[in-house]
Structure 1
């Protein structure tokens, strides 16, 4: 459980920073930056907890609030050192979905759900903070485009359950399945891979 808690905190940091970078790109004021960082970091987890009937994590543990606030201040202060906004946003977004996919799967398992539901919860946890962030910033969410985003989460979560059938220690299963999410997302962007579209060229 300590590893999952650490992963949850790291995911919160990554998504909070991705929210800050998106808000900075839109030239929002400090309050707007904090709000976008907050919803990016806790949006998916909040929806997950509501769906499974659990106490919303950040409402019962203020550690998440402090982490988000600290990450926001850090990202604002060191924004110039983060390099190009778009590249940094991609990196932290990818780190965020990697960690949050595993956290969502673990939450589903703890609640006693079927593996398919757990995979869905992992994907929701990973993706919906970014969805809310992008909508508030007047962007089409990445998950609704052709990019391989949610697919990476589904593959990583599926790998988790496949690896559970092996004698491999749980910590290694967490690391490997998280790596699947991260690597699939990186390869998709590097090689410009995307899901097929239903539209013909003359309809675009």
Structure 2
């Protein structure tokens, strides 16, 4: 029950980030809801497609769709108030990233994926929705151009895969992986860390 609640919280946070981006891009209410759903559920759908799970889990469980859609509507109507909660949203986003990546990696391993593939699938579960959101807004995905986000996701996925490989308790592995992701993400935000870019570029 706790895991489901945490997943729904993660979906709500990701949906809010998608809806905020849509509002800033001046999309109409339908566009805001589409961006909210895409950001919240896109990573999980990509994971399930890669693993051959049909239909994707989020499309079978109506609470996932409901939470994402309602969150999009709330942001549409109350976006000035939501904008004031930026730090809280960033904190919850880090928690959601940790949860989604570890659950995605664990699911991939349980369905027979190799550790290497499971790490990539787990990372994609966490960052896929945001990347699709940015592409729909005709932007280079945020995870590819600033901040330590995808790197944190991949680090946590590797920890989960290694823990499963040496047969550590699953709960301990998931908690450790999620904690690493959240810690790296929050420190990166605090210290304003970014992945290095090529030198000598103009502009």
Shared fold (TM-score greater than 0.5)? yes
Is it true that 1:12 corresponds to 2:8 in the alignment? no
Cα displacement string for residues 61-118 of structure 1 (whole angstroms, at most 9, x for unaligned residues): 2221111122223333443332447656644543332221012112102201111111
Please list every run of 5 or more consecutive structure 1 residues that lacks an aligned counterpart in the other structure.
none
Cα 1:6–1:97, aligned 2, differ >3 Å: closer, same or farther? same
Please list every run of 5 or more consecutive structure 2 residues that lacks an aligned counterpart in the other structure.
none
SS of the residue aligned with 2:82?
coil
Confirm or deny: 8 A CA contact 2:105 2:161 kept in the other structure. Answer: no
Is it true that 1:131 corresponds to 2:124 in the alignment? no
**Aligned residue-pair number:** 201
Q: TM-score, normalised by structure 2?
A: 0.86
Cα 1:174–1:114, aligned 2, differ >3 Å: closer, same or farther? same
Match for residue 102 of structure 1?
Answer: 102
How far apart in 2 are the matches of 1:126 and 1:92?
13
Confirm or deny: 8 A CA contact 1:49 1:57 kept in the other structure. Answer: yes
Q: TM-score, normalised by structure 1?
A: 0.86
Match for residue 48 of structure 1?
Answer: 47
Confirm or deny: 8 A CA contact 2:106 2:160 kept in the other structure. Answer: no
How far apart in 1 are the matches of 2:153 and 2:86?
21
Cα displacement string for residues 125-154 of structure 1 (whole angstroms, at most 9, x for unaligned residues): 111100111121233211111421111001
How far apart in 1 are the matches of 2:184 and 2:2?
22
Confirm or deny: 8 A CA contact 1:108 1:121 kept in the other structure. Answer: yes
Cα 1:26–1:33, aligned 2, differ >3 Å: closer, same or farther? same
Cα displacement string for residues 29-84 of structure 1 (whole angstroms, at most 9, x for unaligned residues): 11111010011111111111111111211222222111112222333344333244
Where do 1:1-204 residues align within 5 Å? 2-55=1-54, 56-84=56-84, 87=87, 90-164=90-164, 165=166, 167=168, 169-197=169-197, 199-204=198-203
Confirm or deny: 8 A CA contact 2:103 2:174 kept in the other structure. Answer: no
How far apart in 1 are the matches of 2:88 and 2:76?
13
